[in-house]
């Protein structure tokens, strides 16, 4: 029997743990952790993401601070805002919603965020810390992917992991996290030769590509754990649908466990963002360890 990994339930559990940590910090230190989100422009998908983050942050007991700037905002002004948030003692986490309008360099803006407030884990410092195996803030989607894999098998040590996709946001940090779990990691990408054969080697197969159902059922080794990060909007039989990068119906037969889309990795991203924010608050304010 294949286990369908319930990302919604795991995310709800994590959000509850965060809420408990927030309550403890409030009670013991009279501190309410705060997340500041910067949104530039009117991108409809980004507006939805920011709204969801706002609601989840408040539900966890943390303070949510929103800065919505017009599309025409100059890069210098976004940088100035980030610098102000860096200096603000009340702000624990800073998230700049991507994508930024084309005239603004996201690279420059992201690297202005103080690493200890970088709850998206996208600054060079946090990427470096992850690479070096040092404590830092880890990107949310890869973090959520590993948590889901570990709900199936607590100890991933020695397993062969294949990560398809090598983006800075997902693929690379996911590979680093799996390496930290003592997996033997292969990173595959658009130039990989015989991707099917590479995937068939995987005990843990992670897809973060952005191509609907790229990974076929017969690319999945019997008994593998399949983590599908992809979120693709397609039209099928006249209906709009969300599908992953894995051909779920076919892959499910071979896999021991698989994440569905929607309801798999997706809900973990915001839960891990909340986790990073409370972690950042505790570390930055010297409040001791939180789980």
Site residues, ligand NDP (CB under 6 A)? 141, 164-167, 169-171, 188-192, 195, 208-211, 214, 229-232, 265-266, 269
List alpha helices for 62-207, DSSP H: 75-87, 106-112, 124-132, 140-152, 171-180, 195-200
Q: Which strand (E) or helix (H) includes residue 46?
A: helix 44-59
Residue 20 annotated among the catalytic residues of the structure: no
From the CB of 270, what's the least distance to ligand NDP, in Å?
A: 8
Nearer Cβ to ligand NDP, position 191 or 239? Answer: 191
From the CB of 60, what's the least distance to ligand NDP, in Å?
A: 18
β-sheet bridge partners, residue 163: 187, 206
Q: Which strand (E) or helix (H) includes residue 253?
A: helix 248-254
Q: Going by C-beta distance under 8 Å and a sequence separation of 6 or more, which residues neighbour residue 155?
A: none
Nearer Cβ to ligand NDP, position 25 or 170? Answer: 170
Q: Confirm or deny that 166 is annotated as ligand binding.
A: yes
Q: Which residue is nearest to ligand NDP (CB)?
A: 167
Q: Is the peptide bond before 262 cis (omega within 30 degrees of 0)?
A: yes
60 vs 35, 54, 220, 287, CA distance in Å? 11, 10, 38, 18
Q: Confirm or deny that 63 is annotated as ligand binding.
A: no
Nearer Cβ to ligand NDP, position 81 or 137? Answer: 137
Q: Confirm or deny that 167 is annotated as ligand binding.
A: yes
Pull the structure tokens for residue 158: 């020695």
Residue 120 annotated among the catalytic residues of the structure: yes
236 CB-side CA count, 13 A? 8
Nearer Cβ to ligand NDP, position 63 or 160? Answer: 160
Q: Which strand (E) or helix (H) includes residue 59?
A: helix 44-59
Residue 47 annotated among the catalytic residues of the structure: no
From the CB of 169, what's the least distance to ligand NDP, in Å?
A: 4
The residue annotated as part of the active site, out of 116, 118, 120, 247, is 120
Pull the structure tokens for residue 1: 């029997």
From the CB of 165, what's the least distance to ligand NDP, in Å?
A: 4
Residues tagged active-site? 53, 97, 120
For the annotated binding site for NADP(+), the residues are 165-167, 231
């Amino acid at each position: 029997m294949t286990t369908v990994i319930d990302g919604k339930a795991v995310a709800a559990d994590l959000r509850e743990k965060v809420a408990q940590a927030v309550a403890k910090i409030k009670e013991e230190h009279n501190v309410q952790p705060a997340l500041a989100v910067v949104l530039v422009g009117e991108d409809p998908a980004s507006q939805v993401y920011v709204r969801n983050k706002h609601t989840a942050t408040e539900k966890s007991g943390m303070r949510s601070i929103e800065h919505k700037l017009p599309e025409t905002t100059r890069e210098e002004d976004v940088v100035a805002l980030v610098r102000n948030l860096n200096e603000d003692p009340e702000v624990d986490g800073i998230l700049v919603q991507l994508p930024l309008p084309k005239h603004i360099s996201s690279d420059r803006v992201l690297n202005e965020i103080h690493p200890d407030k970088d709850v998206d884990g996208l600054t060079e410092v946090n990427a470096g810390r992850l690479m070096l195996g040092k404590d830092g803030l880890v990107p949310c989607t890869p973090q959520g992917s590993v948590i889901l894999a570990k709900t199936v098998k607590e100890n991933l040590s020695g397993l062969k992991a294949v990560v398809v996709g090598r983006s800075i946001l997902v693929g690379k940090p996911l590979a680093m996290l799996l390496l930290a779990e003592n997996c033997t990691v292969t990173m595959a990408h658009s130039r990989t030769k015989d991707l099917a054969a590479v995937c068939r080697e995987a005990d843990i197969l992670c897809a973060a590509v952005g191509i609907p159902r790229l990974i076929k059922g017969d690319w999945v080794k019997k008994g593998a754990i399949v983590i599908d990060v992809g979120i693709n909007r397609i039209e099928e039989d006249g209906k709009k649908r969300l599908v992953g990068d894995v051909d779920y119906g076919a892959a499910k037969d071979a896999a021991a466990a698989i994440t569905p889309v929607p309801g798999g990795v997706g809900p973990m991203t915001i839960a891990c963002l909340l986790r990073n924010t409370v972690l950042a608050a505790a570390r930055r304010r010297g409040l001791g360890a939180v789980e």
